[in-house]
Chain A
Amino acid sequence: MTTPAERVFAIDERERGGAPPGRSAYGVTWAALRARYAAEDRLRDALSETERRDKELVRELVVVLHKLREFVAASGPSMAAAGLSADAELVGALADRLAGAIARRGGTVIDPVGLPYADVADLVDVLDGDGPWVTKTERAGLRWTDGEVVCRAQVLLGGERETEGDE
C-alpha cells in the first residue's frame, strides 16, 4: 500500500515522460541521439540480412547458369545432330534469361575462360594446372555490384608459358 506522498511522486515520474529529474537538455539530446543510432543499427542489420539472402540465392543461380552453359556447350552439337537443335536453343535461351536476371539483381558472373590468370588471380581459386591462361572454369564465381566477390570462380590453368628470353 502506497502513501499519499509516494503516489504523488509516481505521478510526477510519469508526467516527465522518461526524463529523470535533474538531467540537462544536453543529456536528453544525447539519449535521443543514442536511440536514433540504435535504430539505424537495427535497420542496417535488417538490410544486410536481406542482402545476404539475396547474394546466397544469386550465388546458387550462378552455379546453375554455369552448368546449363556447360550442358549447351557439351551436348549442343550432338543434340543438333539428333534433330534436337530447337531443344538445345531453348536451353541456351533459358540460360541467357537467367544471366539477365542475375545481372539485373546486381551480380556479375565470374567465368574467366581464355583470360590471362594474372588478370583474374584475385577472383579465382586454382584447382590445378600450370600455365598463364585460364583454360577451364569448373565453377563460376559471383561478383556483387559493390565490388564484393561473393564467391570466387574455380578454374584450371594451362597454355604455354613465355620463356625468359621472350620477356
Chain B
Amino acid sequence: MSSEDIGTGIVVGIDLGTTNSCVAVSADAAIPDKAEKIAAGRLRPVSGALVITDRYRSPLTPSAVWIDRDGTPVVGARAKNKARQSGEPPPAMFFKRDMSGSQPLRAGHATITPTEASAHVLRYLRDLAESVLDVPVRRAIITVPAFFEVGAKNATTQAGTEAGLEVVETLIEPEAAAQAYLASRAGEPAGEGVFLVYDLGGGTFDASVVEWNSETFDHLSFDGDRFLGGYDFDQAIVGLLADKTPGYNLNIDVSVPEHRALLGALLAEAEDVKIELSRSPAADLVKQNLLDCDGEPMILTVPFERAEFEALIARRIEGTVDSCASALEKAARRRPDLSAESLDGIVLVGGSSRIPLVSEALAKRFGKQPELVDPDLCVAAGAALRTAFVDRRTTHLTLGPPVVLDGRGEINGRVLTGGGLADATSAVVVLRSDDGEYTARVRPDAGGGFRFADIPVTEDETGVTVSVEVDGRTVDSHAETLRAGLDQPRGGAVLANPISVKVRSGLRTVAEEGDPVPHHVEIGLRTVNQGVLLPVPVYEGSIPIGEVVVSDLPADTPVGTRVALSVTIGSDWVIDVHARVPTVGREGRATLNLRSFESDSWDRLKDRLDSVRASWAEKRNLVDPETRITHGPRIEKLIVELEGLLEQRLDAAQATYRMTVVEHLIEGLALGAGAHLTPSFAEFEAKMADLEQLLDQLASRDAQRAAEFRAELPALRATGTAAYRAESQLDWSKAVEQVEGRIYAVWNLLVPPGVLVPSEGPSAATLRVQVLAEIARGRDQLRDRMAGVPAAQRTRALDDLYQSLLTEADAAHADVHRIDVNAPDATRALRRVLDERVAPWLARVETFPPIVDVDPE
C-alpha cells in the first residue's frame, strides 16, 4: 500500500464477531465535527473509545452475508433475515468459526469462502466508518479469539486486505476487553493487575486470565466452550414453557414449516422473558394469536420466576464458572502466587453475561464482584483504544506509537517525501504541546527519520501536535496524545484444546487447553511389549491428528525400555513430535499441522449423522448401565442438536465439530454387559462382516441363494445381540456358531464344483479348501498391511519379517497340497497344519507390522 493510498486515513478497531460485528475509533482520533456526531448518536462513547453506529443508530452489525442474483452483497440485518425466509437461499453466517479452512459457504445466490465472507463484513464496516467519520479509513486492528491459530489470523488479515484495509494487528478478544475495562476505570492508578475475562456471547463462551504489567498485556490462560451461549438459554425457556403448558402441544419438529414459525415466535418471547428476568425477579410470558403443533389457538399467560430460570441454567452457568477456575489454575502454573483472592478484577463480556446468576456464581466462587462494561461493545472499544499504539500516517508523516516513562515521553517518526516535498532534510519537524508549555524542533535525517525525546508529560495525558514545516510553512501535521503506562502489546495465542499422546492406558496429556504457544514438553514412556514398530498417536482433544513412529526396533528390545518423547508446538501452530529409544539408538520424528479443521459439506454431514444414529442404536443397549447414564444423555442431546443444525444449514463448523465429538464418544464407549463373554462382540461383528462379504461374492453367481441368506442376517444379528446382552455364554456361543455355520454354507456354494464332496460334515477335501483359503486370505492381508506401511518406515528388519512370513505361507500351502485327502488320517493331518502352523501364522499376520505399546514411566 503506497503512501498515496494511505492518505490522511484513520485507524479503526473492529470486533469481527461470530454473530455480530462492530467498529470503533479512539476518542482522541481527529474526526471532523466529533461533538455533533456524538450528539447525533452516530458516535457512541464507550470506555475512552467511540463506537460507530449505522443510520438507525445501531452499533452492532450481524455477521451475515447474502449475495443477490446480480452478485451484489448484502451485509447485516437484511442478510441475517434471509436465514428465516424459507423461499430464499440461506446467508453465510458463523463463518468466523471456519476461518482456518477454505470450505465454500452458501451465501445467497453465490458460494464464497469464509475469508471472502469476512471481507464483505469488513468492507461494510469500513464504508460505514468512512461515511460517519468523513475521513478515509485504510487501516484497522481486528480482534480474534485467543485460540485462533496462525492460519485463521492470516485469513483474517487477508479478509482485511480484500476489504481495502491494512490490518496492522490482530488483537485477541480478552485483551481488548481488559483494555476497555482498564480505560473505564479512568482516574484509578493503572498499575499492575491480573484480570479474569468472562465472555458469554450468543453462541460461545471463553474464559481468559490476562495480566497487565503497567506496560503490556500477557495472556496467561484460556478455557471455554466454543458452542455455549444465550441461544441455549432461550431454548431452555421454551422447554420450560412446554412443561408449564401441558394443555398445548409444543412438541416442535423443525422440519414442519408451521412448527418452525411457532418456534421462532416462542424463542423471541423467551428472549424477552430472559431479559426481563435479568432485571426483575419475575416476568410473564403473555402471547396469543399463536397455534400449537396441533393447530390449536393458544392464549399464553405464563408466569416465570427468576429462581426457576436460574435452576434451569444453573448447571451450565456453574460449568462456565468451573471453566474460569480451570483457567485460573492454568494461569497459576505460570504465576505461582496467583489465586482467586489476588485477582484485580473480573470483567464481564458478551450479552449473556448480563444474567444476574453469572455475577452471583462468579462472586460466590471467587469472592469478588464482577464488573460489567458495556458487554456488547467493549471488545471493539478495546481494539479502538489499541489503535493508540499504531503508527500514524498522514501525507508527509509517519508517527510511531508514543512511549511514556517516568513522566517523559518519546515519539519517533519519519517524514515522507512526494507531493512537492522532494527532500526530507529540507523540512523541519516541530512538536508543540497543546498547553503551549513545550516546543521542540528537529531536522530529519536523509531517510526522513526523526525522534523527539524527553517530552514532559505533566498530567495523566498530554496532547501534542507534530508538524512538518518547509520554509516556515506547515505542510502537514498530526495531533497525538501521550499517556503514562502504555506500550506495545504482545501476541497471546493459546491452545483451544489439549494435546495428548495415546499410550496403552489411555490418553496422556502433554499440553493443556489454554496453554500458551509456543509450548514445549518432554516426557518419558516405557515399552510394555515387544515388536519392531513403535507408533505414538497424537490427539487434539479427542480427535487424532497424526502419529510419530519409531521404526526398525530390534524385535528383542526388552519390555520396559525407556522412550523419550518431546513435543514442541510452535507459534505457527505446527507440532514437532520427536520420539527416541536411547538404548537402541532409534528415533522417529513427525511434523503435524494442528487444527487443519475444515467443515464438511451438508450432504456429507447428513451421511455422518445417519451413521451416528445407526451406530448409537446398535450400541446403546450393549454399554454398561453406568456408561449409558453418563454418556447416553450427552450423545442423544448432541444428536438432537445435530438434527437442528442440519435442518437450519447455517453453521457447518459447529455441525462438523459436534459430529466429530459424538462420533468419538460413541466409538469410545466400552461395551459393558457381556464383556466377559468369548468370543468378543467385536469378533462377532467381524464374522458378520465376513458373511456379508461372502454373500456379495455369492450374489454374482447365485443371486437367489444370496438373497435367501441375506434375509437371515437381521435375525442372526438380533439373536447375537440379545444373547450378548443377556450375558449368557451358552446362547452367545450358539449365536456365534449360527453365523459360522452360515459362513461355512456360503463357502460351500462358492468353491469350484468337484472340489467339494458334499456331505453332512466337513470332509478332508472341504477342510483342505478351507485351509488353503485361510492361507490365501492371510497372504492378502499381509500384502495389504505391508502396503499400508509408509515408505519411510519400511526398514530392512520389517522387510525381512515380511518375506519370512510369505515364505512360511508358501511352505504351508505346499504341505497342504501334499496331503492326500483320501487318506484315512487326512482330516487330522489338515487339522494339525491348520492349528499348529496356519493359525499361529495368521495371528502374526494380524499383528503385522509388530507394534510396540508404551505407557508412562
A positions within 8 Å CB-CB of B: 23-24, 26-27, 30-31, 41, 44-45, 48, 63, 67, 70-71, 73-75, 121-131, 136, 138-139, 143-144, 146-149, 152, 154, 156-157, 161
Q: Could you tell me if B272 and A139 are in contact, using CB atoms closer than 8 angstroms?
A: yes
Number of cross-chain contacts by CB at 8 Å: 101
- Cα distance A144–B56 when bound, in Å? 9
4 additional A-B pairs beyond A24-B437, A122-B56, beta carbons within 8 Å, are A122-B77, A127-B261, A147-B55, A149-B58
Contacts of A73 in B (CB 8 A): 289
Q: Is B435 interfacial (CB-CB < 8 Å)?
A: yes
Nearest CB of B to A69, in Å: 11
Contacts of B78 in A (CB 8 A): 121-122
**Do A130 and B87 have beta carbons less than 8 Å apart?**
yes
Asked if A129 meets B261 with Cβ closer than 8 Å, knowing A27-B436, A70-B289, A71-B288, the reply is yes
With A and B bound together, what is the CA distance between A48 and B46 in angstroms? 12
B45 within 8 A of A: yes
Partner of A127, one of B82, B257, B265, B437: B265
Task: A15 to B707: give the CA distance in the assembly, Å.
Answer: 111
Check if B56 sits within 8 Å of A146, measured CB to CB.
no
Whether, in the assembled complex, B785 has its beta carbon less than 8 Å from a beta carbon of chain A, the answer is no
Interface of A (DSSP majority class): mixed
Do A126 and B434 have beta carbons less than 8 Å apart? no
In the assembled complex, which residues on chain A have CB atoms less than 8 Å from the CB atom of B86? 128-130
- Contact (A121, B81) CB under 8 Å given A27-B435, A70-B288: yes
Q: How far is A49 from B261 in the complex, measured between Cα atoms in Å?
A: 36
The count of chain B contact residues (Cβ–Cβ below 8 Å) is 36
Residue among B41, B88, B437 making CB contact with A27, cutoff 8 Å: B437
**Neighbour of A147 across the interface among B38, B56, B80, CB < 8 A:** B56
Contact among B40, B269, B288 for A146, CB-based, below 8 A: B40
Is the beta-carbon distance between A44 and B38 smaller than 8 angstroms? yes
A and B contact pairs by CB, cutoff 8 A, 29 listed: A27-B435, A27-B436, A31-B435, A44-B39, A44-B45, A70-B289, A74-B288, A122-B77, A122-B78, A124-B81, A127-B264, A128-B86, A128-B264, A129-B84, A129-B85, A130-B88, A131-B87, A138-B264, A138-B265, A138-B268, A139-B269, A143-B56, A144-B57, A146-B40, A146-B41, A147-B41, A148-B56, A156-B261, A156-B265
Whether B268 contacts A146 by the Cβ 8 Å rule is no
- Interface set, chain B 248-292, CB cutoff 8 A to A: 257, 260-261, 264-265, 268-269, 272, 286-289
Contacts of B437 in A (CB 8 A): 23-24, 26-27
Q: Once the chains bind, are B288 and A125 in contact (CB under 8 Å)? A: no
Q: Which of B80, B85, B288 is close to A130, meaning CB atoms less than 8 Å apart?
A: B85
Closest residue on chain A to residue B287 by CB atoms: A67
Chain B interface (Cβ < 8 Å from any Cβ of A): 38-41, 45, 53, 55-58, 77-78, 80-82, 84-88, 257, 260-261, 264-265, 268-269, 272, 286-289, 434-437
Closest 8 CB pairs of A and B: A148-B57, A130-B87, A127-B264, A128-B261, A26-B436, A149-B56, A30-B435, A126-B81
For B85, give its contact among A23, A30, A126 (CB under 8 Å). Answer: A126
Given contacts A146-B57, A147-B55, contact A128 B40 (CB under 8 A): no
Q: Closest CB of chain B to A34's CB: distance in Å? A: 8
**Which of B80, B268, B436 interacts with A154 by CB under 8 Å?**
B268
The answer to whether A74 and B289 have CB atoms under 8 Å apart is: yes
Q: Which among A75, A131, A146, A148 has the greatest number of chain B C-beta atoms within 10 A?
A: A148
Assess the B56–A139 pair: CB atoms within 8 A. no
Q: In the complex, what's the smallest C-beta–C-beta distance from A132 to chain B, in angstroms? A: 10
CA distance A82 to B265 in the complex (A): 30
Across-interface contacts of B40 in A (CB, < 8 A) = 146
- Nearest residue (CB) in B for A60 is B276
A125 x B265 contact (CB < 8 A):
no
Chain A residues in 8 Å Cβ range of B38: 44
Also in contact, A67 and B265, with CB within 8 A (given A147-B57, A149-B57):
no
Shortest Cβ gap from B734 to chain A (Å): 56
- B84 and A126 contacting across the interface, CB-CB below 8 Å: yes
A125 and B289 within 8 A (CB)? no
Closest A residue, CB atoms, query B76:
A122
Name A63's closest neighbour in chain B (CB-CB): B272
How far is it, in angstroms, between the C-alpha of A26 and the C-alpha of B437 when the chains are bound?
8
A23 to chain B, nearest CB (A): 7
B289 contact set on A, CB distance < 8 A: 70, 73-74, 136
Min CB–CB distance A116 → chain B (angstroms): 14
CB distance from B248 to the nearest CB of A (A): 16
Residues of the A chain whose Cβ atoms lie less than 8 Å from the Cβ of B57:
144, 146-149
**Chain B residue contacts of A154, Cβ below 8 A:** 265, 268
